[in-house]
């Protein structure tokens, strides 16, 4: 499973220009996101249009929360034509708060430069080292100036994903009219809208059937309309044709297939349709920083842990921890009050010179013997033993009553034989982001076990931590093994990972 290499924060930023322009921005903190692009039945990947995998890394930048509206376009356009700019298109829009459309790639670049100059920011786009203000050029240079610009292809996709990995859309794997303005059809398994065709709330008054920006819920980064409404120009050339530019996000007339996060649409930079618009981004003008965490073991068997982390900037790093049923924190000192998973997150918010650092988190297992007690203070595990996470396919091996067993993909927290035929395993099953946890108990050889395992019943119970033995939830009963292996699959993958109590009765 692909996971984020870095956890991310998004902060609301200042509003720019007039309120009617819907020009609020979000700060997208530097980081990486890698994963896969899924397929429905009958679909295939294309390395240029819809690649099988993606790997995105960006620096910190500001991005408009909404596509550029007709109102904001007009404000800047009117200033621009009075200050030496010319455009191929005047720009269209169904209403002031709808996205501007019918602007080509060149129009968008020149508009970005005009917006920058109007706000006393350095313009980004140049042709032959001169500010790009008129005409069309295939030799436009995107400089590192701190003014407004189009997002790169990687910036757009990274921001649209909102921290999610391997998902079709900014909110998950399915799309419907309650989420976006697009053309719904039953041809795609991930299009689950109850209404088909154009969006029923926005199909009046003649085409284009755009919707007011912000009509639908934002993604986790605070960005609206990252799927549907209008295609959005990116600066980059399309991989399939260097003379075409990348369009992202789909539009009011697009089917679900075009609204997927991994989909790149090739657009002629000279074309201007009523389904194409754009949004702008801007560099912060600050330096990015990262946090380096002092190593923390995957397993802690002590009652106290000292934390240490440093930021590139030299600014102080703060820590947050969870859950409070297992750990308490005093500045950099952690005290463990029970056994379970602990997550520690280091943060550095930045200052006038440095961008906020991407938070860094570590999750580890705490296995203090004091944690395995019941409400009366009695030790739950008479033969308490802690084993490591098996690496790769290497199993952890345990022996009870002379019978050797192996456990795969499980952290054995404790072993507690009650008598000659009944014992209990306390375990934490590895469960990550939507994947099912699996507990596989394998006896080394069927001949080592008297009688047939399949003639006995097994019970599995679970709870979130082991501080007290009461209130276990029964998940599965009467589990029959196959041969010498008993495999239990859990379909409740909600994080954080949970402890499981497996009671096994031998013949």
Convert the pLDDT of each residue in 425-449 to its tens digit: 444 443 333 333 344 444 333 333 3
CA-based torsion, 235, 239, 244, 246: positive or negative? negative
User: In DSSP terms, which residues pair with 172 in a beta bridge?
Assistant: 169
- Domain extents for the chain? 10-283, 291-366, 372-505
- What is the fold of 10-283? 3.90.1580
**In whole angstroms, what is the distance from residue 257 CA to residue 251 CA?**
11
Tokens of 74: 């007009």
The CATH number of 291-366 is which of 3.40.50, 2.60.40, 2.30.240, 3.30.70?
2.60.40
Tokens 């199909």 belong to 203
Rounded to 5°, angle at Cα 99 from 212 and 60: 105
pLDDT band at 453 (very low <50, low <70, confident <90, very high): very low
Reply yes or no: is the peptide bond before residue 323 cis, omega within 30 of 0.
yes
Tokens of 35: 């994963």
- Please report the pLDDT score of residue 427 as a whole number: 46
Nearest of 70, 77, 59 to residue 23 by alpha carbon: 70
Residue 410 pLDDT > 50: no
**In whole angstroms, what is the distance from residue 253 CA to residue 268 CA?**
18
Reply yes or no: is the peptide bond before residue 398 cis, omega within 30 of 0.
no
Model pTM greater than 0.75?
Answer: no
Residue 155 pLDDT > 50: yes
Rounded to 5°, angle at Cα 278 from 275 and 280: 170
- Please report the pLDDT score of residue 367 as a whole number: 61
Rg of the Cα atoms in the chain: 28
Reply yes or no: is the peptide bond before residue 94 cis, omega within 30 of 0.
no
Tokens of 289: 């920083």
- Measured torsion, CA atoms of residues 120, 125, 130, 135, in degrees rounded to the nearest 10: -110
- Same topology between domain 10-283 and domain 291-366: no
Q: Which of 31-35, 140-144, 233-237, 361-365 has the lowest mean pLDDT?
A: 361-365
Nearest of 422, 402, 311, 322 to residue 362 by alpha carbon: 322
- What is the fold of 372-505? Immunoglobulin-like (2.60.40)
244 C-beta neighbours (distance < 10 Å), count: 18
User: Residue 167 burial by CB count (10 A; 0-12/13-18/19+): exposed, middle or buried?
Assistant: buried
Q: Which of 43-52, 138-147, 392-401, 459-468 has the lowest mean pLDDT?
A: 459-468
128 C-beta neighbours (distance < 10 Å), count: 8
Residue 362 pLDDT > 90: no
Of all helices (H) and strands (E), which one includes residue 106?
Answer: helix 105-118
pLDDT, greater one: 488 or 126: 126
């Amino acid at each position: 499973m692909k996971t984020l290499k870095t956890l991310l924060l998004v902060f609301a930023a200042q509003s720019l220009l007039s309120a009617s322009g819907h020009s609020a921005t979000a700060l997208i903190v530097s980081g990486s996101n890698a994963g896969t692009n899924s397929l429905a039945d009958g679909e295939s990947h294309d390395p240029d249009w819809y690649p099988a995998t993606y790997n995105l890394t960006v620096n910190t930048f500001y991005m408009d929360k909404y596509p550029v509206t007709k109102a904001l376009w007009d404000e800047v356009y009117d200033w621009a034509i009075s200050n030496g700019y010319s455009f191929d298109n005047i720009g269209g829009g169904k209403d002031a708060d709808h996205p501007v459309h019918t602007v080509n790639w060149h129009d968008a670049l020149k508009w970005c430069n005009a917006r920058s100059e109007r706000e006393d920011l350095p313009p980004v786009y140049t042709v032959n080292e001169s500010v790009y203000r008129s005409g069309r050029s295939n030799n436009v240079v995107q400089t590192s100036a701190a003014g407004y610009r189009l997002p790169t292809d990687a910036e757009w996709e990274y921001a649209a994903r909102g921290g999610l990995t391997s998902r079709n859309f900014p909110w998950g794997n399915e799309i419907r009219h309650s989420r976006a303005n697009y053309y719904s059809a039953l041809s795609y398994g991930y299009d689950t809208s109850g209404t088909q065709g154009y969006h029923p709330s926005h199909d009046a008054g003649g085409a284009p059937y755009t919707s007011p920006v912000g009509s639908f819920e934002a993604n986790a980064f605070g960005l609206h309309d990252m799927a549907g409404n209008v295609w959005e120009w990116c600066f980059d050339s399309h991989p399939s044709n260097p003379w075409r530019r990348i369009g992202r996000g789909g539009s009011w007339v697009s089917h679900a297939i075009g609204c997927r996060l991994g989909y790149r649409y090739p657009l002629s930079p000279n074309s201007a349709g009523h389904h194409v618009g754009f949004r702008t981004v801007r560099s912060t003008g600050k330096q990015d920083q990262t946090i380096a965490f002092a190593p923390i073991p995957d397993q802690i068997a002590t009652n106290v842990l000292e934390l240490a982390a440093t930021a590139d900037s030299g600014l102080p790093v703060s820590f947050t921890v969870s859950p409070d049923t297992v750990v308490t924190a005093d500045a950099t000192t952690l005290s463990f009050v029970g056994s379970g998973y602990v997550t520690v997150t280091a943060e550095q918010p930045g200052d006038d010179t440095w961008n906020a650092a991407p938070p860094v988190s570590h999750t580890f297992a705490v296995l203090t013997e004091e944690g395995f007690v019941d409400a009366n203070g009695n030790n739950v595990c008479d033969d308490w033993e802690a084993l490591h996470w098996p690496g790769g396919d290497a199993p952890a091996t345990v022996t009870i009553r002379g019978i050797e067993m192996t456990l795969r993909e499980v952290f054995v927290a404790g072993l507690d034989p009650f008598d000659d035929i009944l014992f209990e395993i306390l375990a934490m099953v590895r469960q990550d982001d939507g994947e099912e946890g699996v507990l596989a108990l394998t006896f080394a050889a069927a001949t080592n076990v008297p009688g047939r395992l399949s003639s006995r019943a097994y019970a599995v119970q679970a709870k979130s931590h082991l501080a007290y033995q009461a209130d276990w939830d029964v998940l599965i009963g009467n589990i029959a093994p196959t041969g010498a292996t008993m495999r239990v699959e859990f379909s409740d993958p909600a994080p954080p990972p949970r402890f499981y109590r497996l009671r096994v009765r031998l013949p």
